[in-house]
């Protein structure tokens, strides 16, 4: 049994003030004063549920290790390949307390000769990324993902930078949504443009990820009630796609650099962004993305914190696992969310949306996924960057950073 005492507690929904949290066998058993003498002194710090990054791409087990060092205890993978790679990461996550837990879409639905197939050449075994040519292909594609263990279905609607490749037709997107529903899977759409956003909404997608970089979100929505939308804006990636200097804030904050390999930091300082290009599409602006999140927040839409992290372990990238989650929280606050809503977007809200009832809140019976940070992120959201302790299912990470 372990008790963290003297810390301010944010339980995933609200601030509880200074109190004690006790957990045993990986589960929170008590929240309140006087449980017993604390094993961990949390005075001057804040205890949060483990953070949930609602949009990542996994390129190796090192991603999950880095996520956990930054207090991200669960990641929602939005496309990894080939299927045997994802299966290997699932097995690791089930048995490695020093890596973040994960859920995954597995393969993403895209058009033949379009994204994402164009970036995945056949592997040595001969496996090739499948693509969809027509609505009739949707049922088999979804059935294959269910067989592989996908937790939800990711649909690639349009690339914000390269519009020369084939895209799924609106009819095929709708057919994928229908097939997913029939198999009990929720759907997530890659929608970084106004056209993609409209197409995904018309098709009945459950969660939209990214926000348009090319103009106001309302364009062409014909009075759609924005309050009913569930959106993961990935502002960190949106800024990286629109601004070559997007890593400047990361490089300026020692709290964010502390968990990165020195070689990665040196490469970032030298301008290496992991080959992520800045979009040259006319009208692209990060200001559009920021303004669109502000509109969504004002309208009461459900917002999730996610980064679109996709770095190869040990290499520089414009959006890094773990560290970028804390940048995402600050960008959401800058777009108009209150600190409380920002923290909710990284804890209880994604747990609710993606059906993870055992995490996202600090309450008896939930997993003891916890992160202890110096300061008070409810007054300064950047306080989440100063991580002092991380527990995954009650097991403390021995070296945070």
Residue 129: pLDDT band (50, 70, 90) is: confident
The answer to whether residue 161 scores a pLDDT higher than 60 is no
Query: How do residues 220-239 score in pLDDT, each as one tens digit?
Result: 677 778 899 999 999 999 99
Clarify whether residues 335 and 373 are in a common domain.
Answer: no
Across the range 181-190, mean pLDDT stands at 97
Clarify whether residues 5 and 90 are in a common domain.
Answer: no
Clarify whether residues 43 and 56 are in a common domain.
Answer: no
**Which among 260, 206, 207 is positioned nearest to 232, based on CA atoms?**
207
What is the reported pLDDT for 34?
A: 63
The answer to whether residue 400 scores a pLDDT higher than 70 is no
What is the reported pLDDT for 160?
A: 53
Structural domain containing residue 228: 51-358
Residue 401: pLDDT band (50, 70, 90) is: low
- Name the average pLDDT for the chain: 92
Clarify whether residues 28 and 123 are in a common domain.
Answer: no
385: which 2 tokens? 């960057």
The answer to whether residue 110 scores a pLDDT higher than 60 is yes
Across the range 385-393, mean pLDDT stands at 97
Clarify whether residues 35 and 59 are in a common domain.
Answer: no
The answer to whether residue 123 scores a pLDDT higher than 80 is no
CB 396 within 8 A of CB 369: no
The answer to whether residue 120 scores a pLDDT higher than 80 is no
What is the reported pLDDT for 299?
A: 93
CB 74 within 8 A of CB 101: yes
Clarify whether residues 20 and 103 are in a common domain.
Answer: no
The answer to whether residue 163 scores a pLDDT higher than 70 is no
CATH code, domain with 381: 2.30.40.10
Q: Which of 47-56, 94-103, 318-327 has the lowest mean pLDDT?
A: 94-103
Distance CA 68, CA 222 (A): 42
Clarify whether residues 162 and 209 are in a common domain.
Answer: yes
What is the reported pLDDT for 124?
A: 67
Place of tokens 């109190």: 19
What is the reported pLDDT for 181?
A: 97
Clarify whether residues 40 and 133 are in a common domain.
Answer: no
List the end-to-end C-alpha distance of the chain, in Å, as a whole number. Answer: 25
Clarify whether residues 88 and 13 are in a common domain.
Answer: no
What is the reported pLDDT for 221?
A: 75
Q: For CA atoms 370, 372, 377, 379, give the dihedral sign.
A: positive
What is the reported pLDDT for 147?
A: 95
For the entire predicted model, the pTM comes to 0.95
Clarify whether residues 272 and 312 are in a common domain.
Answer: yes
Chain centre to alpha carbon of residue 15: 23
CATH code, domain with 172: 3.20.20.140
Distance CA 314, CA 130 (A): 29
What is the reported pLDDT for 162?
A: 55
The DSSP annotation for 204-242 comes to: T-SEEES--SSS-TTTTSTT--GGG-EEE--HHHHHHHH
**Which among 196, 35, 61 is positioned nearest to 115, based on CA atoms?**
196
Across the range 104-133, mean pLDDT stands at 80
Across the range 308-314, mean pLDDT stands at 91
Distance CA 132, CA 115 (A): 11
What is the reported pLDDT for 115?
A: 73
CB 42 within 8 A of CB 4: yes
Across the range 89-101, mean pLDDT stands at 91
Q: Which of 35-39, 142-146, 156-160, 310-314 has the lowest mean pLDDT?
A: 35-39
H or E element, residue 194: helix 194-203
CB 325 within 8 A of CB 307: yes
**Domains held by the chain: number:** 2
Most confident option among 105-114, 222-231, 321-330: 321-330
Q: What percent of the chain has pLDDT over 90?
A: 74
**Residue 328, Cβ density class (10 Å: 0-12 exposed, 13-18 middle, ≥19 buried):** buried
What is the SS3 assignment for 262?
helix
Clarify whether residues 317 and 366 are in a common domain.
Answer: no
Clarify whether residues 254 and 105 are in a common domain.
Answer: yes
Q: For CA atoms 88, 93, 99, 102, give the dihedral sign.
A: positive
The answer to whether residue 333 scores a pLDDT higher than 70 is yes
What is the reported pLDDT for 33?
A: 77
Chain centre to alpha carbon of residue 366: 21
Peptide bond into 391 cis (omega under 30): no
């Amino acid at each position: 049994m372990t008790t963290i005492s003297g810390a301010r507690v944010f339980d995933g929904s609200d601030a509880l003030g200074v109190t004690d949290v006790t957990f045993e066998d990986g589960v929170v058993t008590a929240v309140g004063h006087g449980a017993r003498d604390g094993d961990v002194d949390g005075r001057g710090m804040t205890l949060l549920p483990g953070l949930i990054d609602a949009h990542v791409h996994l390129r190796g087990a090192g991603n999950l290790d880095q996520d956990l060092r930054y207090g991200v205890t669960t990641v929602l993978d939005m496309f990894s390949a080939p299927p045997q790679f994802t299966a290997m990461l699932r097995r690791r996550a089930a048995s490695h307390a020093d890596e973040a837990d994960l859920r995954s879409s597995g393969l993403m639905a895209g058009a033949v000769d379009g994204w994402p197939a164009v970036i995945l050449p056949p592997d040595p075994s001969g496996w090739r990324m499948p693509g969809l040519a027509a609505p009739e292909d949707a049922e088999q594609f979804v059935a294959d993902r269910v067989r592989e263990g996908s937790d939800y279905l990711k649909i690639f609607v349009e690339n914000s930078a390269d519009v020369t490749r084939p895209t799924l037709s609106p009819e095929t997107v709708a057919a994928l949504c229908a097939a997913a529903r029939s198999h009990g899977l929720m759907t997530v759409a890659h929608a970084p443009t106004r056209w993609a956003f409209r197409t995904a909404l018309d098709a009945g997608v459950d969660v939209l990820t990214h926000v348009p970089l090319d103009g106001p979100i309302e364009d062409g929505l014909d009075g759609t009630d924005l309050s009913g939308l569930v959106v993961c804006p990935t502002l960190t990636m949106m800024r990286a796609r629109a601004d070559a200097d997007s890593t400047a804030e990361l490089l300026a904050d020692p709290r964010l650099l502390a968990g990165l390999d020195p070689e990665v930091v040196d490469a970032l300082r030298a301008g290496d962004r992991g080959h992520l290009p800045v979009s040259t599409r006319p009208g692209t602006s990060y200001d559009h993305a920021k303004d669109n999140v502000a509109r969504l927040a004002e309208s009461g839409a459900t917002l999730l914190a996610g980064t679109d992290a996709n770095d190869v372990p040990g290499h520089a990238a414009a959006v890094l696992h773990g560290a970028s989650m804390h940048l995402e929280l600050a960008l959401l606050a800058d777009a108009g969310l209150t600190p409380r809503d920002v923290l909710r977007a990284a804890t209880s809200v994604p747990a609710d949306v993606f059906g993870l009832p055992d995490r996202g809140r600090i309450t008896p019976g939930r997993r003891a996924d916890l992160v202890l940070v110096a300061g008070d992120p409810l007054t300064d959201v950047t306080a989440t960057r100063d991580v002092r302790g991380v527990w995954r299912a009650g097991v403390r990470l021995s070296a945070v950073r």
